[in-house]
Amino acid sequence: MHVNQKQHVLLVEDDPPMARVYQEYLKNEPYEITHVSRGDDAMDVLRSNVPDAVLLDLKLPDMNGLDILKHIQDAGISTTVIVITAHGSINTAVEAMQAGASDFVLKPFNADRLIYTLRNSLERQQLSRIVKTFKEDFNRQEFAGFIGSSLPMQAVYRIIDSAASSSATIFITGESGTGKEVCADAIHDKSPRRNRRIVALNCGAIPKDLMESEIFGHIKGAFTGAQSNRDGAAKLADGGTLFLDEICEMDPTLQVKLLRFIQSGTFQKVGSSETETVDVRFICATNKDPWKEVQAGNFREDLYYRLHVIPVHLPPLRERDKDVIEIAEHFLEKYASEEGKQFARMSEDAKKVFLSHSWPGNVRQLQNTLRNAIVLNEGETLETDMLPELLNGKPLSTTSAPAIGQNAHTSPLSNMDNATVANSSLGIAPMWQIERHVISLAMKEYDDNVHKVATVLEISPSTLYRRLREIEEDSKAFD
């Protein structure tokens, strides 16, 4: 509450001389006092303008003051009530306290007794509100697209709450699958820019030759294939938010132009000499350590300092304790509904498996695991034998892949991959070679369907596109 704002006190007293005495007692206190002499008038005030405190005489001409107190409690009206009662009516005062009054004063009383009783009651009420707000904020299980009540996520929620209203640049870090895009959307949705667009660009999924056009747009004839003028993300996000995912993958030459754009708010479309001005709030994200990328020479230091204003780090799932179960139960219900299945719960053993797994692919891997189990199985309870082999602790198969449908609890690709890798000529090889080998097998198995392969391999489509581009470039180099 602002220090200069007066608190509203409702005085319910049917004796006008006594009412004037109480008002005189409080004349130097920071209160705005409304006086009524009847219970029905007090009810009207409570309905139209809830006071911070009520000084309530229990003996009124039209009703018992306890009825007003009961109404306040039943309606959940957030006000503190101090009961005024005659000397010798201790039992009535106790009854009022049991009914929800915060304190009482016995007639006759002096100014100090009324002032300090009212002041203390209002301070207790304010502290209670602070504690309630803190508990509500601290115990949030869901927040703006996120699920989880762990301490690390509560810290993330508070940063988003605090930073959303600012125009400062947000730099989100975290492993793949931790929810960086969800975080960007949450910041935008809670910001004053929520009614304008958030435009997302993945700097790792777009070829570097096209990235400048994707950000700034181009004019007709600017390059081969530019058959008409086109606005880029910068123009589309005017008044809103521009989200640059995988920012550390951006080509160094383009980093210079991005820095100039951030500093000035101006840009030129590819092929144009005309300068355009926009108002954009920047959010960027990476699954790498941005400072290490600066030290390695992959990311400009001046751009780092321009973007790294408010950092938000998303913890990996393995550090989020029982969030794993909260997330799993949420998506179990969601996917069961989408797939028309009857699953309604997880067995205790399945929960133990989920809690003990390290989840290197984070929330995305958990989602894919649940989708896999729900699609391939039937029942009301998700059991451990319905989970993929790598998750439930069973040994990996080294035999040829079963026909689809032969074993409803395992993925045909997981068996094929492990059998083929085990029998291949790679032997013990560098991880990058094994990774490329598995990607090639998966692309062949799923007829080059990138999104299907990304889901099965539990990586993002942008990462898979980047790996495929690296494989293609290396192949060309040896042609």
pLDDT tens digits for range 364-402: 999 999 999 999 899 999 999 898 865 654 433 333 333
- Among 3-17, 186-200, 218-232, 464-478, the range scoring the smallest mean pLDDT is 464-478
Residue 426 has pLDDT above 70, yes or no: no
CATH code for the domain defined by 7-136: 3.40.50.2300
Give CA torsion, residues 229, 230, 234, 236, to 10 deg. 120
Residue 289, both tokens: 């350590």
DSSP string of 251-263? -HHHHHHHHHHHH
Residue in 388, 406, 407, 400 with CA at minimum distance from that of residue 458: 388
d(Cα 177, Cα 366) in Å, to the nearest integer? 9
- Give the pLDDT of residue 174: 94
Same fold, 7-136 and 142-315: yes
User: 4-9: which pairs have CB atoms within 8 A and are 24 or more residues apart?
Assistant: 6/30, 6/31, 6/32, 7/31, 7/32, 7/52, 7/53, 7/122, 8/32, 8/34, 8/49, 8/51, 8/52, 8/53, 9/33, 9/34, 9/51, 9/52, 9/53, 9/54, 9/55, 9/118
Residue 247 has pLDDT above 60, yes or no: yes
DSSP string of 414-452? HHHHHHHHHHSTT-S--HHHHHHHHHHHHHHHTTT-HHH
Domain boundaries, the chain: 7-136, 142-315, 317-394, 398-479
Instruction: Give the domain 142-315 fold.
Output: Rossmann fold (3.40.50)
Q: Tokens 């994200």 appear where?
A: 285
Give residue 476's region: left, alpha or beta (phi > 0; psi -120 to 50). alpha
CATH code for the domain defined by 317-394: 1.10.8.60
Task: Judge contact between 65 and 57, C-beta under 8 A.
Answer: yes
DSSP string of 120-141? HHHHHHHHHHHHHHHHHHHT-S
- The mean pLDDT value for 205-229 works out to 87
Task: Judge contact between 162 and 320, C-beta under 8 A.
Answer: no
Residue 341 has pLDDT above 90, yes or no: yes
